[in-house]
């Protein structure tokens, strides 16, 4: 990895994988998810690719403001999701203000793309090691007999498709830095494939662990880890929480870098993940204030609304890109 042209693929991948680890409830059976992922991965990549093409044609201040608002809204939801999860697992031990400080303040260090990229690779390695440790811990309790043999219904496949087609902003962000050095080859397809493979793999582990009770479990990944033979997540629970914080910090730094490119100009902010002190001095306080106002928000409904808003924004961008393309062709005629 070159410092002058760092890749942001690891940051995008960490941002997607953390959604699986912080999800509060399982959404589908892994058999259905395995078949649907074959379709959903290229579909998500195609949506992101078409959005990038349309974005270059329809780049307009209104679209930039809408995209920026979507990223700020998502940042608030990510902080609230982390806080609510921590509050369920460690009641009374973590406040909303402390979560905001732990996550937002390190973004100042990640104000450069090189720092963001290097930190993302380190967090990705830690996530892999933590996942391997969890698997080693629960391996004696994984039972083949827990695999469900009932025939899959159409509803099972629809549930898997609905969950896997959640359109996270990470699939749209590569449109903001079209440089090949930062984007890499086949970025969107690799992102979707790795994210859905990890998602289906975790669902399979949970089915082997819980059996038919899997859909009824709340915070299933962490509950399973605490029951492991090594009990590593009980003994090192604060290290686990620090890892969550690091992953969400990378996600927010990535969003803030996108905000700089959207609202602060691309050339001047080229090596800045968050031109934080001069361009967005109110970002930490503003995010904390929004979290405090929305702390009693129904997070499941808010995340569903975020998905609807993201798909709507993508559709609006497609329409704008098609209109701009048609207008250019008419002018040439």
Q: What is the pLDDT of residues 79-114, one digit of tens each?
A: 999 888 888 877 877 888 888 888 888 877 777 788
Residue with tokens 């005629």: 333
The tens digit of pLDDT for each residue in 102-153 reads 888 887 777 778 888 889 999 999 888 888 888 888 888 888 888 888 888 8
Q: In this prediction, what percent of the chain has a pLDDT beyond 70?
A: 86
CA distances from 52 to 2, 77, 183, 213, 266 (A): 25, 24, 12, 41, 16
Give the mean model confidence (pLDDT) for residues 13-40.
87
- Helix-helix angle 113-138:187-210, to 10 degrees: 20
- Nearest Cα to 30, choosing from 192, 203, 166, 150? 203
Which pairs with CB-CB distance under 8 Å and at least 24 residues apart come from 78-82? 78/248, 78/251, 78/252, 79/103, 79/104, 79/248, 79/252, 79/287, 79/291, 80/291, 80/294, 80/295, 80/297, 80/299, 80/302, 81/22, 81/24, 81/299, 81/303, 82/22, 82/244, 82/245, 82/248
Residues with Cβ < 8 Å from 231, sequence gap 6 or more?
A: 137
pLDDT at 316 (0 to 100): 92
Name the pLDDT band for 263 (thresholds 50, 70, 90): confident
pLDDT at 327 (0 to 100): 76
> What are the beta bridge partners of residue 25?
218
Residues with Cβ < 8 Å from 37, sequence gap 6 or more?
A: 160, 164, 196, 197, 199, 200
First to last CA, the chain: 46
Residue with tokens 């998500």: 44
Q: Is the pLDDT of residue 308 over 90?
A: yes
The C-alpha atoms of residue 223 and residue 89 are separated, in whole angstroms, by 9
pLDDT at 173 (0 to 100): 92
**How would you label 146-179 residue by residue, b for 16+ Cβ within 10 Å and e otherwise?**
beeeeeeeeebbebbbebbebbbbbbbbbbbbee
The C-alpha atoms of residue 184 and residue 192 are separated, in whole angstroms, by 14
Give the mean model confidence (pLDDT) for residues 202-226.
83
The C-alpha atoms of residue 219 and residue 244 are separated, in whole angstroms, by 14
Residues with Cβ < 8 Å from 9, sequence gap 6 or more?
A: 183, 184, 187, 190, 191
pLDDT at 230 (0 to 100): 60
CB 190 within 8 A of CB 58: no
């Amino acid at each position: 990895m070159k410092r002058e042209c760092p890749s942001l693929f690891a940051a995008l991948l960490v941002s997607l994988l953390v959604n699986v680890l912080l999800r509060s409830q399982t959404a589908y059976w892994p058999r259905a998810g395995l078949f649907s992922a074959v379709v959903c991965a290229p579909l998500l990549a195609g949506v992101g690719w078409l959005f990038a093409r349309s974005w270059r044609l329809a780049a307009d201040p209104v679209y930039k403001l809408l995209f920026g608002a979507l990223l700020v809204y998502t940042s608030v939801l990510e902080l609230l999701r982390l806080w609510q999860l921590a509050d369920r697992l460690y009641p009374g031990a973590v406040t909303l203000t402390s979560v905001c400080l732990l996550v937002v303040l390190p973004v100042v260090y990640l104000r450069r793309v090189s720092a963001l990229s290097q930190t993302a690779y380190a967090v990705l390695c830690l996530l892999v090691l933590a996942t391997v440790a969890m698997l080693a811990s629960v391996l004696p309790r994984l039972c083949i007999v827990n695999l469900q043999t009932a025939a899959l219904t159409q509803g099972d496949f629809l549930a898997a498709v609905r969950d896997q087609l959640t359109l996270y902003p990470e699939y749209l962000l590569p449109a903001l830095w079209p440089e090949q050095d930062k984007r890499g080859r086949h970025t969107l397809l690799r992102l979707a494939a790795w994210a859905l493979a990890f998602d289906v793999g975790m669902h399979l582990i949970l089915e082997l662990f819980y059996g038919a009770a899997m859909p009824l479990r709340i915070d299933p990944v962490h509950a399973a880890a605490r029951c492991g033979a090594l009990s590593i997540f009980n003994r090192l629970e604060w290290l686990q929480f620090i890892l969550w914080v690091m992953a969400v910090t990378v996600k927010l730094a990535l969003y803030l870098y996108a905000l700089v490119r959207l609202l602060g100009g691309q050339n001047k902010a080229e090596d800045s993940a968050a031109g934080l002190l001069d361009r967005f001095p109110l970002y930490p306080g503003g995010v904390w204030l929004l979290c405090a106002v929305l702390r009693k928000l129904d997070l499941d409904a808010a995340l569903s609304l975020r998905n609807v808003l993201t798909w709507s924004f993508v559709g609006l961008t497609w329409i704008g890109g098609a209109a701009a393309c048609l207008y250019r062709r008419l002018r040439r005629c």
